[in-house]
């Protein structure tokens, strides 16, 4: 029945065990190395006994936690009861639930199960509720009950009858718009992403933990002269490390986004991806707050872009800047057609208004002056190689000019389009009714040049997100403000 309490599949015990093991991985590694460094029998026995007790405790906690965890649906709420020593209850009203996402890790795939994550409006970076291991049929029934079951007054079992076909169409009833990323596309995503920096940082952090086991000082003393005289050797080592980090980042990207598919099902987007861990995200079209088209420094010269969805009430699957990837890689010329097919309420505007010429000086100053102040002392105290630091002034100038050329805006009756650049070029599409607030800001120096900063805020799972363009023409800022503030003037702005 509706109020019948249920437990998760016993495989949740295994999931919980590996989760706790992963969280305690670093102290376990330290304990293993510390215990194995002593050769006395008594310490070996204590070490083995400690490890056995530790792992036994993890398993016991997982079993008890699973046994004490219940969930059920009652009075239009998802209810959960859990806790080993302190019993807790959590009630999530059906009207607050925005999405119900599923994923399949290694453990779930072995047992033919899925993990269910339930997202709510304003839920933050973590899911509001999570069921680590349930059957796929149970996940479908939960989705039916929490998202599509509308008649709350009828006293029927929500785990029983399905909605009529006309209310919840079958996926097989008609061909759905579908996007599938090829392996070639994913390879390009991996080669042009910034993942190499993350991998390189992880490698450096990992190797730094083993200074007491690896005789770095002996190696330097023995081969120091070679290392000092062989510039080519050092350069080769650096190149090899960078190349391996780059390959690792490509492999990680392809495993993470393998089988990336987007299906538009009526008023929802179903996004699935992953090889080792399969994830399926559901984004309701009416929960989309904005579309962001991003081109990083590596992709822009080749005409590629990544399309992100900014949505309310969804934290699962967030990628760059807490956004959800809609299309991992598209030719810029193909973006408009894909938006029209999958999110037709968001359309690109080609007639973008740029910034006035007097804004260019401010963009250059903002980057060139700090670079100059930092590079001059370096060039003075570390001659002659310190002069290389002066190149940062030229780089700052190029980036500032690029930011100036990228920045712009456009409005029509229903949409606001903003373009800006930090390092990556971004184009944001926001529907007027999704803008939570619009702000015109003018500093003392902007006032002298009759310039404004325009900023639009939207609602997301983290509470909110802002997009802004700096140093627009004063009359343009006032025009956008009137477009947003006064409904009677919407039709006058093109």
Q: How much is the pTM? A: 0.75
Lowest mean pLDDT segment, chosen from 71-75, 138-142, 197-201, 267-271: 197-201
Residue, of 236 and 173, whose pLDDT is higher: 236
Most confident option among 99-103, 260-264, 308-312: 260-264
Lowest mean pLDDT segment, chosen from 45-49, 273-277, 407-411: 45-49
Q: Residue 165 pLDDT > 50, yes or no? A: no
Residue, of 146 and 134, whose pLDDT is higher: 134
For every residue of the chain, which 3-state class applies, written as one string? Answer: CCCCCECCCCHHHHHHHHHHHHHCHHHHHHHHHHHHCCCCHHHHHHHHHHHHHHHHHHHHHHHHHHHCCEEEEECCEEEEEECCCCCEEEEEEHHHEEEEEEEECHHHHHHCEEEEEEEECCCCCCCCEEEEEEEHHHHHHHHHHHHHCCCCCCCCCCCCCCCCCCCCCCCCCCCCCEEECCHHHHHHHHHCCCHHHHHHHHHHHHHHHHCCCCCHHHHHHHHHHHHHHCHHHHHHHHHHHHHHHHHHHHHHHHHHHCCCEEEEECCEEEEEECCCCEEEEEEEHHHEEEEEEEECCCCHHHCEEEEEEEECCCCCCECHHHCEEEEEEEEHHHHHHHHHHHCCCCCCCCCCECCCCHHHHHHHHHHHHHHHHHHHHHHHHCCCHHHHHHHHHHHHHHHHHHHHHHCEEEECCCEEEEEEECCCEEEEEEEHHHEEEEEEECCHHHHHHCEEEEEEEECCCCCCEEEEEEEEEHHHHHHHHHHHHCHHHHHHCC
Residue, of 407 and 17, whose pLDDT is higher: 407
Mean pLDDT, residues 121-148: 80
Instruction: Quote the pLDDT of residue 435.
Output: 92
Q: Residue 343 pLDDT > 90, yes or no? A: yes
Residue, of 402 and 201, whose pLDDT is higher: 402
Neighbours of 363 (CB within 10 A): 23
Instruction: Quote the pLDDT of residue 290.
Output: 93
Lowest mean pLDDT segment, chosen from 73-77, 293-297, 490-494: 490-494
Mean pLDDT, residues 35-52: 66
Residue, of 383 and 328, whose pLDDT is higher: 328
Pick from 469, 427, 467, 432: which is nearest to 452 by CA? 469
Instruction: Quote the pLDDT of residue 421.
Output: 95
Lowest mean pLDDT segment, chosen from 184-188, 328-332, 458-462: 458-462
Instruction: Quote the pLDDT of residue 466.
Output: 92
Mean pLDDT, residues 299-314: 86
Mean pLDDT, residues 280-296: 90
Give 160's pLDDT tier (boundaries 50, 70, 90): very low
Give 251's pLDDT tier (boundaries 50, 70, 90): confident
Interval 442-475: pLDDT, tens: 998 898 899 999 999 998 765 678 999 999 999 9
Residue, of 207 and 69, whose pLDDT is higher: 69
Instruction: Quote the pLDDT of residue 169.
Output: 47
Mean model confidence pLDDT for the chain = 80
Residue 260, C-beta contacts closer than 8 angstroms, at least 6 positions apart: 180, 181, 186, 271, 272, 273, 328
Q: Residue 151 pLDDT > 50, yes or no? A: no
Instruction: Quote the pLDDT of residue 76.
Output: 82
Q: Residue 228 pLDDT > 90, yes or no? A: no
Instruction: Quote the pLDDT of residue 377.
Output: 92
Instruction: Quote the pLDDT of residue 148.
Output: 64
Lowest mean pLDDT segment, chosen from 169-178, 201-210, 457-466: 201-210
Q: Residue 247 pLDDT > 60, yes or no? A: yes
CA distances from 408 to 117, 304, 362, 395, 429 (A): 38, 20, 15, 22, 12
Pick from 283, 284, 299: which is nearest to 335 by CA? 299
Mean pLDDT, residues 424-440: 93
CA quadruple 90, 96, 99, 102: dihedral, nearest 10: 10
Q: Residue 168 pLDDT > 50, yes or no? A: no
Interval 363-403: pLDDT, tens: 999 999 999 999 999 988 888 888 899 999 999 999 999 99
Instruction: Quote the pLDDT of residue 293.
Output: 96
> How many angstroms separate the CA atoms of 243 and 240, rounded?
5
Pick from 256, 253, 346, 313: which is nearest to 117 by CA? 313
> Which of 418-441 are b and which e, b meaning 16 or more Cβ less than 10 Å from the residue's Cβ?
bbbbeebbbbbbbbbebbeebeee
Lowest mean pLDDT segment, chosen from 162-176, 234-248, 254-268, 371-385: 162-176
Q: Residue 195 pLDDT > 70, yes or no? A: no
Residue, of 469 and 25, whose pLDDT is higher: 469
Mean pLDDT, residues 100-118: 88
Instruction: Quote the pLDDT of residue 461.
Output: 62
Q: Residue 83 pLDDT > 60, yes or no? A: yes
Q: Are strands 324-331 and 288-295 parallel, antiparallel or unpaired?
A: unpaired
């Amino acid at each position: 029945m509706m109020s019948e309490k249920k437990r998760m599949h016993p495989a949740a015990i295994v999931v919980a065990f590996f989760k706790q093991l992963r969280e305690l991985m670093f102290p376990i590694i330290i304990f293993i190395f510390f215990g194995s460094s002593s050769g006395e029998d008594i310490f070996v026995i204590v070490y083995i006994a400690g490890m056995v007790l530790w792992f036994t405790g993890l398993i016991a906690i997982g079993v008890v936690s699973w046994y004490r965890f219940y969930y059920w649906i009652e009075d239009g709420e998802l209810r959960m009861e859990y806790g080993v020593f302190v019993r807790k209850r959590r009630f999530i009203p059906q009207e607050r639930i925005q999405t119900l996402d599923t994923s399949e890790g290694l453990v779930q795939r072995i047992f033919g199960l899925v993990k269910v994550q339930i997202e709510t409006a304003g839920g933050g970076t973590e899911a509001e509720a999570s069921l680590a291991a349930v059957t796929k049929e149970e996940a479908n029934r939960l989705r039916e009950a929490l998202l599509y079951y509308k008649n709350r007054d009828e006293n029927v079992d929500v785990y029983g009858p399905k909605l009529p076909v006309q209310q919840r169409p079958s996926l097989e009833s008609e061909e759905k718009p579908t996007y599938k990323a090829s392996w070639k596309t994913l390879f390009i995503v991996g080669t042009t992403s910034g993942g190499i920096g993350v991998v390189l940082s992880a490698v450096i952090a990992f190797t730094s933990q083993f200074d007491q086991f690896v005789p770095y000082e002996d190696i330097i003393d023995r081969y120091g002269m070679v290392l000092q005289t062989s510039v080519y050797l050092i350069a080769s080592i650096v190149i090899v490390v960078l190349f391996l980090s780059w390959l690792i980042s490509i492999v990680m990207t392809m495993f993470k986004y393998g089988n990336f598919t987007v299906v538009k099902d009526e008023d929802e987007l179903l996004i699935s991806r992953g090889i080792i861990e399969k994830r399926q995200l559901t984004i309701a079209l009416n929960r989309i707050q904005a579309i962001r088209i991003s081109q990083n420094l590596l992709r822009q010269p080749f005409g590629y872009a990544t399309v992100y969805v900014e949505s309310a009430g969804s934290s699962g699957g967030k990628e760059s800047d807490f956004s959800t990837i809609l299309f991992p890689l598209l030719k810029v010329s193909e973006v408009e057609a894909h938006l029209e097919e999958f999110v037709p309420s968001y359309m690109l505007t080609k007639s973008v208004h740029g910034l006035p010429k007097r804004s260019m000086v401010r963009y250059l100053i903002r980057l060139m002056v700090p670079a100059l102040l930092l590079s001059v002392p370096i060039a003075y105290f570390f001659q002659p190689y310190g002069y290389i630091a002066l190149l940062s002034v030229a780089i700052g100038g190029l980036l500032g000019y690029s930011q100036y050329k990228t920045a712009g805006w456009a409005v029509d009756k229903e949409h606001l389009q903003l373009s800006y650049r930090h390092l990556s070029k971004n184009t944001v599409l926001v529907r007027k009714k999704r803008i939570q607030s619009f702000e015109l800001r003018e500093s003392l120096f902007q006032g002298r040049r009759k310039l404004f900063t325009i900023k639009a805020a939207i609602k997301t799972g983290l509470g909110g997100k802002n997009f802004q363009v700096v140093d627009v023409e004063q009359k343009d800022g006032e025009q956008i403000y009137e477009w947003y503030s006064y409904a009677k003037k919407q039709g006058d702005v093109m």
